Amino acid sequence: MDLAAFGSAASQLRERLRAEVEDERRRKRLMQLQDQAAPKSSVGVSSGYSGGGRSPGTPMVQRAPSRPTAVRYAGIAKGSQSAVVKLASYAGGARAGAMLDYVSREGSLRVENERGEKLGQAGDRAKILEEWEPLMDNRAHSKDMASFTLQLEGDFAGLSDLELCEVGRSTFHGLVSSRTEDGEDRHSFAFGIERQGGGAAVMTGLMVLRSTGGLRRTPDAKGEGMIARAISQNKLDLPAQPSNFRFVGYGNGVEYGTHKLRDLVEEFDGGVTTDRGRAIADQKQAGDLVQREWRKELHSRAPRDVMHVIMSAKAGTDPEAFESAVRGFMARTFGEQRHKYVFAMHDPATDPKGANDGGKRPHVHAHAIITTKNEHGERPRNGPATFRDWRENLAEHARQNGIQMEMTDRRDIASAPAYTKNQVRPVSRKGRTEHEGTSRPAHARYIAKREGARVYASSPRSQQYRTEAVSTWGALALSADSKVAQFARAQVEQIRGIETHGAQVIKLDERREGSPAFTRHMVSLMALISEESSMSDGAQQDIRTKPEFEQYEKAVGAAIFKAEREIIDPEERKALDELTQSVREVVEAKRVVVETAAELVEHAELRAQGVDVDEGRRQYRDAVEKHGADDVDAGIALLKNMDRAQDAWIEAGEPKDPDHPTTAIFSAELSAVINAARDGNTYLAEVVQETEVLRELDQENERGDEPAESDGSEGKSVPLQAPEGNAKTSAASQPATTTDRHIAEPDYQSGENHDDREANDNTRQLHEQQMRVDGAKQSPEKGRTEQDARKEQTSSDPAGQQVPRQNEQQRERDRDDDLDR
């Protein structure tokens, strides 16, 4: 044998020996994994709950230890389906009724509660909501955007449309922006402008209420007064003289802003301009502006009284077995923690909703509506670990009912990441929902998930997970079960193929070397997350009070503002946006904890003073039964505006001049209340009759209206003079604070029947009850006056508005989105 042949033989021998050693190592690994699969006793684990404190005797969550990875993988290789549990959305108590209607298909399907009771008879819906009422906080949605009008005085006849738009843009920007130590604090806005007689013009627009520096304006008389003072002081170097600024509406979230801006584009036939001088000519540009640029400025918040959870199984799964699995899952996950809930099965064979309307999905699934607060005042800390536990629990109960199901992680087989509801829009609901991406990257993510692309995440934690997955699949490749071995070998080849060749790779969390400013800000923001995580675990100083939280929130807002101002590179800005979103989610979670704790303390103090804090809710329900939800809600809104206008008028020194801004606004709000009462709002009619000042004004204006009835002027707004002296209308205006504090406003759907029976207590009792609550809240020791308390209540809260809740509300028709997400 020559030297070359000998070398070749030696090389082959070495390769064979190396393969034998590798096989032996895999066999030992497989034996270790099989030993780990031996049953173990259940252990108590942390509940992952926050707020309120656990009462003695409340059980911790009891669950079996995590299923061994090798056993899970073997189940996957044998064809077990994946456990799918999705947290679809949160909602406030006002939306709980609508969510119950959706889950029960408007009462056509029976729902089951935590006690195993089947509910579906007439009146059951009302009983559920009444039982849940003590667990509802009914916080108001944040006021994110507001529509406005502004008069521009001057002679603009000689200006072109483009020049007039620039005059309007510069004028309004000067009114709502300011210079700070950190730079310019500005508001985003868009507007259209219309010429008036005499050469003047009127701006109509939509603005983001939160500024780039974190200050939030309030769309009320106070906010209008701030701009009115800026106009009256006339110290601004503006290209036009502004006057008569008014907020004409406000709303919450991206959907509201998109709708309003598109209406504005339609009203001005594409003649809309942004605060940066960019033209918005069509509906698509309007939607892109709000959804892609303004979204991150909103810091939107919405109440989280209930959560909507969906549990799904593959088509062909036994519906009765899956219902039993869902029942066990709900009892263990939420029932043992003393949450209230209901769930209903949606089986394509029995679903009364048509396929074209989003019903009769080809797979069996269950919808559950759960109170986020349990009977002990605790809320779950939902996160990736929690959702993993949910999937493990559902899979365990499914197997107990004869359904082969496993908890899966996308990294187990290098599958593509899920797409979010904000990255896609539905284009077809027949059968399996079809979507399209809202942007090119979003559509690529959707296609990757839909087509089963092989993807790996490159974060350090994911790399470690992937290494362990390859090792486990490699051990299973030697299994005596040929089906398991074949599937395992395929997974090893696919994962290693991605690592080696990069086929179908989407590298997540990949970061290139950044600029010094980028590195500095990223480290600073990551430290804020780390610190907050440690705080929540109790390792460092815990944030327990609102002042402590506000200080922390201001620090976060300042760090984000500086980073966004200095980082302009597109790739670096994309990475920054992802991190700031995580920071905001952490801060928002802490906000919920702090606010919940503060509310519990506040209610305890009020009860100690003998104030029935629940009476306001009962009074509101009585008023709704007597007058209807529409009249009561509209009336409370008008009374709130009147109350705030009166406060502004008093703060201005009760001017007698009818042309004074505060006098004019107060007079207009009084007129709005009385006109609404005349137009058929029975709630306001009762308030007017029971409030001496309003009753006298109404009678005076009725006398003034008599000559005008014959010439067709009926229904027009009658100018009112502000009452002489400090004639407070607080008896009528008190509901303005009622809706903000203690009255829960239920969600009544259009077309819903209500009893016409008379309420036991009249409307004045509703106002007086809230006055007692407000009076108890004022601390005599601190010497706060009623006016001081109102100032504090109605003022904007910059620190409390800087960091938003994730996530916006999801349309109810999107609840059953693609199971493969």
> What's the whole-number mean pLDDT along residues 446-468?
78
> What's the whole-number mean pLDDT along residues 414-441?
73
Which tens digits make up the pLDDT trace of 50-77?
554 444 334 334 455 578 999 999 999 9
Nearest Cα to Cα of residue 187 among 150, 223, 214, 160: 214
Residue type, 248: V
- Please tell me the total number of residues recorded for the chain in this structure: 821
Which tens digits make up the pLDDT trace of 740-783?
333 333 333 333 333 333 333 344 444 444 444 444 444 434 33
> What's the whole-number mean pLDDT along residues 144-165?
90
Which tens digits make up the pLDDT trace of 618-642?
788 888 888 898 888 888 989 988 8
Confidence check: pLDDT of 143 > 50: yes
Write down the pLDDT at residue 362.
Answer: 83
Token pair of 252 as six digits: 């919450």
Nearest Cα to Cα of residue 666 among 714, 607, 613, 729: 729
Q: Estimate to the nearest angstrom the gap between the alpha carbon of 123 and the chain centroid.
A: 30
Write down the pLDDT at residue 58.
Answer: 41
Q: 736 vs 130, which has greater pLDDT?
A: 130
> What's the whole-number mean pLDDT along residues 93-103?
89
Which tens digits make up the pLDDT trace of 575-589?
888 888 888 888 888
Confidence check: pLDDT of 40 > 80: no
Write down the pLDDT at residue 561.
Answer: 84
Task: Report whether 542 contacts 534 (CB < 8 A).
Answer: no
Write down the pLDDT at residue 782.
Answer: 38
Q: Estimate to the nearest angstrom the gap between the alpha carbon of 248 and the chain centroid.
A: 24
What is the C-alpha separation between 449 and 465, in angstroms, rounded?
Answer: 20
Among 65-79, 222-236, 378-392, whose mean pLDDT is lowest?
222-236
Write down the pLDDT at residue 421.
Answer: 73
- For residue 382, CA distances in Å to 88, 505, 668, 733 come to 12, 29, 47, 40
Number of H helices, E strands in the chain: 26, 22
> What's the whole-number mean pLDDT along residues 735-740?
34
Would the pTM of this model clear 0.85, i.e. be above it?
no
**Neighbouring C-beta atoms of residue 717, cutoff 10 Å:** 11
Write down the pLDDT at residue 586.
Answer: 82
Within a 13 Å sphere around the CA of 29, how many CA atoms are in the beta-carbon half?
A: 20
Write down the pLDDT at residue 279.
Answer: 93
What is the C-alpha separation between 365 and 719, in angstroms, rounded?
Answer: 59
**Neighbouring C-beta atoms of residue 190, cutoff 10 Å:** 26
Q: Pairing between strand 405-406 and 81-82?
A: parallel
Among 207-211, 605-609, 615-619, whose mean pLDDT is lowest?
615-619
Write down the pLDDT at residue 576.
Answer: 82
Write down the pLDDT at residue 539.
Answer: 34
DSSP label at residue 592: H
Nearest-5° angle of CA 20, CA 22, CA 25? Answer: 110
What is the C-alpha separation between 396 and 508, in angstroms, rounded?
Answer: 31
**DSSP letter string over 782-797?**
GT--HHHHHHHHHS--
Write down the pLDDT at residue 196.
Answer: 86
Write down the pLDDT at residue 33.
Answer: 54
Q: 705 pLDDT band (50/70/90 cuts)?
A: low
DSSP label at residue 652: T
**DSSP letter string over 6-34?**
HHHHHHHHHHHHHHHHHHHHHHHHHHHHH
Write down the pLDDT at residue 19.
Answer: 62
Going through 133-200 in order, the beta strands assigned E by DSSP cover 145-153, 178-180, 183-185, 189-195
Token pair of 610 as six digits: 């003998």
Spell 372-405 as b/e; 16+ CB within 10 A means b.
bbbeebbbbbbeeeeebbbbbbbbbbbbebebeb
Q: 682 vs 737, which has greater pLDDT?
A: 682
Which tens digits make up the pLDDT trace of 501-540?
444 444 443 334 445 566 667 767 776 665 444 343 333 3
Q: 745 vs 20, which has greater pLDDT?
A: 20
Average pLDDT, the chain: 75
Confidence check: pLDDT of 649 > 60: yes
Which tens digits make up the pLDDT trace of 263-304?
999 999 989 999 999 999 898 899 889 988 998 898 888 888
Domain limits, the chain: 145-298, 516-599, 615-706+714-777
Write down the pLDDT at residue 50.
Answer: 54
Write down the pLDDT at residue 181.
Answer: 67
Which tens digits make up the pLDDT trace of 229-248?
888 876 556 778 888 999 99
Write down the pLDDT at residue 159.
Answer: 87
Going through 286-433 in order, the beta strands assigned E by DSSP cover 306-312, 341-346, 365-371, 379-380, 405-406, 424-428
Q: 378 vs 532, which has greater pLDDT?
A: 378
Q: 329 pLDDT band (50/70/90 cuts)?
A: very high
Phi/psi for 724 (5° steps) reads: -70, 145
